[in-house]
Structure 1
Amino acid sequence: MDTGTTAFMLSCIIALTLMIPGLALFYGGMVSVKSSLNMMMMTFSAAALVGVLWVLFGFSMVFGTSYGGLIGNVTEFAGLRDLAEAMTTVDGLPVSLFALFQALFAAITVALVSGAAADRMKFSAWMVFAGVWAVLVYFPAAHWVFAFDGVVTENSVGGWIANKLGALDFAGGTAVHINAGAAALAVAIVLGKSVWFGSRKPHNVPLTLLGAGLLWAGWYAFNGGSALAAGTSASIVMVTTFVCTCSAVLAWLAVEKIKTGHVTGVGAASGAITGLVAITPACGSVTPVGAIFVGLISGAICVYAVGLKERFGYDDSLDVVGVHLVGGLVGTLLIGFFASETMPGGVNGLLYGGGIDQLWRQAVAAGAVMIYSFVVAYLIALAIKKTMGIRISPEEEEQGIDAKFHGDWAYELQSA
């Protein structure tokens, strides 16, 4: 066992865990004071549910020996049995620690989807959706993208995107962000518009900025930890993560100023998350200068993408589609342009003399995950709607979902 790598990954796991309250604060500040607690509960509860499913069979579905590159052997590592003394073939990292690292990816991805359901989805319906979507969509997609041949055992066979298509995705632009964004669009369509659609205001912008800051800090572990070793790859990945986020904030605020005449706290937070999303797949493929361009392009595009909900009438409450789906698509595709063989990915994109070979691979990976996630998420949400019901009533929305369904409030307000 490499104790240095193990210590590094233990630190990354702590930072990744802080992304759970970070996401809860980010989302919780962006909704009404009457639904803030519910929004945070959706994040925490999804993480808890997915964590249990991951240990029971999720890890095995993702990293078990593949059936045709589509799904791993469900029983091979069920219950994480036989992993206490097992080692990966990558830098002497214990499989149990690798499994925990990946469990947090799964938990955060599922929680991201909840941003499209703010103010109006039954908590029980959310829990059912979160569990079923994790099993039917996230676990298979993660297998496609993250399960490289020989990662867990020397003879293990992995997913088709990682091993046959050869698309580059260092830390989950496809499996995490495009996946969650496509599912969020499906959920928003099935749920319909909230009574607050078009007039929703964040109740606590400082809370949202605090959440964005925690997410930014945790993202170094998200991306850097995906190197699975404390070395040059992790170091340069953290640099590209930092500078892309900085440039995306600047781009978002510049476009926001041009559009509205103001630069806002929510804009700064959204710009930061956009940069983090876009660099997630590209952090190991683009140079620091390339990362600046990825941030500028994604930040400028996603400002306009979040406005598509008003144009097309879907209530993507907290801009999961505009930031995660579009940002993930932009970052994944820009690898095909800005990738440099001097980076850990080892491939040149179009602008570095590599032609369009990598670009088409990126497009196929992004399209496959997006279409699969949207279709299956739509069917899951529709089935829930037709059976147990998916949405609270307009009257309950007006009263506030926190008091009605949780018997609790984000704030105890008393008159002086």
Structure 2
Amino acid sequence: MTGRPMRRTLGLGDAVTVGLGSMVGAGVFAVWGPAATAAGGWLLLALLLAAGVAVCNALSSAALAARYPSAGGTYVYGRERLGETWGHLAGWCFVVGKTASCGAMAMTVGAHLVPGAERLAAAVAVLVITALNLAGVQRSVSASRAVVAVVLCVLLGVGVAAVLPTATGPALDVTRVLGGDLDGYGVLQAAGLLFFAFAGYARIATLGEEVRDPAHVIPRAVVLALTGVLGVYACVALVVLGVLGPEGTAGDPAAVATVAAQVWGPGWGWLVRAAAGIAALGALLNLVLGISRTTVAMARDGHLPRRLAAVSDAGVPRAAELAVGLLVLAVVLVADLRGAIGFSSFGVLLYYAVANASAFTLRAEWRPGRVVPVLGLVGCLVLAATLPLSSVVAGVVVVLVGVVVLAVRRALR
């Protein structure tokens, strides 16, 4: 079964849904507290910086996906444009970093839905999501569509309630949105945290081998998904800051749920917590989906065991799906949420740095403007460097391990 191509069954709507499901996840509920702690009243500036880097990455990824419409994403782009070493490192950072992100999403599910039994609930979530992906990509897309619809309805309800007049006036006060001294480093760190919530649009590119007419569908899907999510995040940020203020938002791990309790009344925060758990499940579903496709591409080239490149008669890479599921389960059982998120952010930013460097080498008719990949590359490196020191050190160690693995593989070959 090794080497059999996957079926092209996804259209534009399906691809956009995968991107939305990857980005509109637990991050939109949980990221505001840590980001406000770092940026204070300048959270919107941090959001704008994160969005700017994400836009550059999206344009570079879209141009590359149109040129190389196959599974693997930046692993393939780096290999084709920069050489085997950079492709290997991009794939390595993606698989390892996103595996940690999967663990973080699974733990978020447990923390929101089953407080007190977080790890057990997270392990069950990993098993359920792995089984769903084994059933086929179309079922995964259908589940993503349902998750996105639920989350957007809940967020819309919170936003509308915040601006409705009450006896004392609307709960949202725009004068609370900005304020305090500008801390440049804090804004950059907050941008790195917020980028974690954006990082999902390239999941569309990793499905390049399963998308119909990828040269046209993938670029449009990436831009549409990112634009929609940016609008959602901006509105949520305004509501959270306008109701709680920077001080009230800072350090609150469930800021959106707190807003819901204030605008809907005490006791209604449970509805947002339920939506956050569902959103985390949707993000976990799409993360596992993307990692398995990159694993297939790396296995085909021998960077990972070739058995992982096997594709079933139904067009599903079951070996890769199972391997990724087991790795995520291991992360859930041994890691903590904060460490998993920081480590994942570092790997993802380096992954997109390789994507921008690859896009810079494209011919003029493919490249999205010379300045775009340069800004994306610099932005990724700066945000990665401003992450907590422990995350940076752990990320550097993992990159070095990837270099050693490649050197050993070459020596054996």
Q: TM-score, normalised by structure 2?
A: 0.28
Q: TM-score, normalised by structure 1?
A: 0.28
Higher RCO (CA 8 Å, separation ≥ 6 residues): 2
Please state which structure has a larger fraction of its residues in helix.
2
